[in-house]
Structures are given as C-alpha cells and as structure tokens.
Structure 1
Amino acid sequence: MENGELSELCYPQLNSSCRTPKQPPGQALLIYVLLSSISLLTVALNLLVIFAISYFRQLHTPTNLILLSLSVSDLLVGLLLMPVEIIYIEACWQLGDVACTLYYVADYVITSASVANMVLISADRYVAISEPLSYLSQVTKRRAWVAVSLCWLCSFVYRLLLLHDHLGEPGRSISCLGECVVIISNVAGTVDLVFTFILPVVAILILYLRVFAIAVSQARRTSSRVGAVQGQRLVKRSELKAARTLGIVVVVFLICFIPYYSPTLAGEDTSVDATSAAFEIWLTHINSCLNPIVYALFYPWFRKSIKLIVTLQILKPGSRDAKIL
C-alpha cells in the first residue's frame, strides 16, 4: 500500500481501517456553514422557549410544561446530536464502539421523547376544547409532570429494547475501524416505524380532527345566537385555525420523518451513520428546529416573552410576574 493511500486511512497502520471521509472543499464549507447554522438556530429557539416558560410565572401551566419538555428534547438535538454529526463530517470516529452505541441510544431516546411530547400536546388541546369546564380539574401541573416523565421513561426503555443487540455487542454493524454505524434490521425497523411514526401520526390526526369538528360545532352553535353573518365568519375562522394547526403539525412531521423510514417501507434494513451528513438523518433533526416555530412562535405569549427578554425588561424587579397571557 502506497503512502498516499495510507494517509487517507483513519488508522494508517491497520489494513482494517476506514478511509477518512472527504468532501470537495467548496461543498464541505457549504455543508459546515448550513448545518452549523441549523444547530445554532435550534439551540437558540428552544432556549428562548425554555427560558420564557421557566421564568414567567404566568406561563407555568400544564400545557406549557409539556411544551417545555418538547423544547428540552429539541434543545438536546441541537446541543448534543447535531454538533457530533457536524464534527465527524470529515473526520473518523475515534471514541470507540461503546461510545458509538451510547450516542445512538441518546439519539433515539431524544427523538422518541420529542414525538411523544407532540402527541401529548395534541391530547392536551383536545381535552381543553372537548371538556372546557372540567379541563382545569382534569389536567393539573402534577399530572402533566407525570405524563412528561412517563414519556421520557418509556422512550428510554423502548429504545433500550430496540437496540439491545447493539448494547450487548457494540460495533456489530461496523465494517471497518473509524466509522460509527448502527444497522437496524427490517423487523426492528418495522416496529420502530409503527411506534415512532405511524401510531403518533394516527393519534395526532384523530385528535386534531376531533378538535376541528368541535371547533366547527361550537362556532355553529354561536351563530344561532349572534346572527347568520357573524356566525359564518366564526365558522370560517375556526376552520382556518384548526386546518392550519393540523396541517403544520402533520405535514412538517411527515416531511421530516418519511425519508428516514423509506428503507423500512421498502422492506430494507436501515443504516444510520454518524460519520456522514446523511440527508434523511438531518431532516429528522431539523424537525427539532421547526418545532419551536410551530408550537411556540404561533403563540402571542411567546412573542411578548421574546420582547421582554430582548429588551432586558426581565432585569426589572417583579418582571417574573409580568402579564404575558
């Protein structure tokens, strides 16, 4: 083997070494800038949500506790998962097989928790609209904390079961030294497809369709009391609001996750490589950047919170009790 070839290996002294991943200079710079910007934006947006909900007392509601949990999971994606994948775009994995497996366990747990929190938010909105009189007694802060904790616990246990083969034999999917790859079999991938994709999407669809139906029904009941013209206007607003929320939640989730599950849908094994900027992996992570936009930026209280934070009004005494809602 020539010296030029040796220099391209992760471990030049070993024939079983992988080659160092390389990108054309211009393309590599573009990838680094783009992915780093996404990572920073993900961290910044989710930090704003977390700080706002944690700081302002008026935002300490059961609904916002679930939103806080979602933002924590999305923050971890931007703070831990994205930087690792950026670093190893043109570098070999040198942290060992155990660290590689643990990285994927963390990746899957965070992603599962994020999806579970989305379903929780949908359920919370459904209860709030379908049972407005008993909502405050049914959905308390304590129950919200319990639900959020169960989401994280179930995500952790579920991923340990899904990756138990890799935990028992770290590096089983690695073909050469210097890569960090986990291959999910078609059977395990199908299970993951059902529990992390199909069931959450079905649950969100059903809940939001129910919300849509209830909103239209309430608007029609209101129209009988305030006049036909105004009633038609209320129905239109309710339909648009429900359709917009439903469309954003489902379409964004589908766009971000369908490419990742395409091998499973095609009956193939799913290969996940931390040492490459795989489009389908980054698309699922971008969902963590879009979540705070979908779930927070549409709320007026979030815009008010940003204004108070950016203008440093939070430094004033009593700012935690500011009227945000």
Structure 2
Amino acid sequence: MKNYIDLHMHSGYSDDGEYTAEELVIKCHQSGIRIMAITDHNTVSVIDEELALCREMGIIAIPGVEIDCTWKGIDLHVVGYGIDHHQRDFQKIEEDITAQEIINSRKRVWLTNQMGFQLSEQDMEESSLSDVWPGELFAEVLLGRPEYADHELLKPYRPGGSRSDNPLVNFYWDFYSQGKPCYTETRFPDLETVIDLVHAHGGVLVLAHPGVNLKEHFEKFDELAALGIDGVEAFSSYHDTVTCEYFYEKAKQYDLLVTCGSDYHGKTKPAISLGGSGCSVNQQQIEAQLRQYGLI
C-alpha cells in the first residue's frame, strides 16, 4: 500500500526549502498524501496557511515545527506536533536562532574559502533572498561556478559521483554539520527546555531522524526516551532498513508514538519524494496512534 502519511517536509520558510505552502499541499494531494505536516526549521510561519489550504484540498494537516536543540553536546532535531503555534515562545526561538545564523553565515564564507574556494559575501547575497546562508546554498553556488568545474572537492557531488544522489544536502552534512570543517556553533535551546515548551503549548514531541543525529551512538536513545519525548521518527528518508527497524522496535519498547517523514525539501534533496520515508508498517497503525495522541 502506498504511503499516505508524511509528517516531515519543508516549505520556503525553511532556509533550505524550495516550495510555497500552496505548492506543497498540491504536491501532497497529487502524491496521494492524506495526512501531512509541514515542519519548517524553527519557525511556525507556514502553519495557518497550510491548515487553510489543506481544508480546501481535503487533507488532514497537523501543525508542526522542527526545532534545533542540544543534549549532552549533541545537536538534535525534534518536531513539535499539535502545538498552539500562535504562542509567542515559538516566535522567540525563531528570532534568536535567526539572529545567530545571520552572523554565522558570514563566518561560513570565511571557512568555505579556507577549503580552497574564493567566495564573497556579495556572491552569497546575490544567490539568496535571505540573510541566512545554509551549507546547501554554499554547495549550490560552488557547483554552479564554472571555475570550479574540475575542483576535486566537488567531484563527489557532481552527476555520477558518490554523493550525487542528494548533492546539496550531502555537501552540508559533509562540511557544515557538527564536527565538520565549516561548522559554526549556534546556541540552540537544550532538549529538556524544548520538551517542556512543546508540552506547555499542547504539543507532542518527536525525535526526528535519530539515525542521523545519534550516528554511531544509537544506545543513547535509551537515555532520551527517559527524558519525556513522546515519539520517534523511526521511518525517515535518512534511515536504511536496519535503522528504521531499530528505532521502530525502540518505540515499541518504550511505548512511544511512531512517525514517518520524507524530510522533503525540493531541490535540496532531489532523490527524496513526498511520502518517501521508507515506512514498512501498515500506515493505519500510525494513523491510529496519531488519533490516540489527539493529533488528528
């Protein structure tokens, strides 16, 4: 049965998203998605528009936001579902992180040039409508510059290269994520604070794509489960079959909500399609859990 639930996707309100809310809702309708959530990075700006559009299209929409946070020195992504998104606390998170990211974007220019490139802040300004320049944008700019057509560092991300399936986001993970050469630290709220915030505003908190953020330390999930998270995105485009099954079993062990999400962005991840979460269980089970948690 084709997956009809996708609870993780991004609109243009995310600095690495491509499509408007209307375009996403139409694409979901065309893809057979019946239950969806746009979960932009640290912003709830899309939600009112999303809810209205989904009502018109006959799609069930769950208000959601993906929030960056930290726990024991690890950068994590969590998603708050069913939140009262009009609360000022969510706007404060966006304002704080955006202010830091504007500064960090300029630092990324310098760090990128340390790898053998020559980019200016003007180059980045001309390539974006935003003052925030994520790693994916640096990849797009560099891959589009003719002078770097044969640059060794970029070859894995060009057609046929080992990282060419999703070249822009792969470049981000390889060079701009935590622990990589162009990483810039942003002071994110701690996980416990975000758990309390989401719960205080009527939401359910789910750990997103843990296979990416926990990397070789899956055993740490047992500690996370004890902190008060409500669910885990066991099925994600980032997870292979073994990883999906591992976190699905962990969710059952701790009686947690199981979610599935493609993490669809558009051009940033061209190999990812809506509904493409690798979900291997009957999605009616997930739908039943969503009802149990009062999300639909």
Structures share fold, TM-score greater than 0.5: no
Structure with larger Rg: 1
Q: TM-score, normalised by structure 1?
A: 0.25
Which structure shows the higher helix fraction?
1
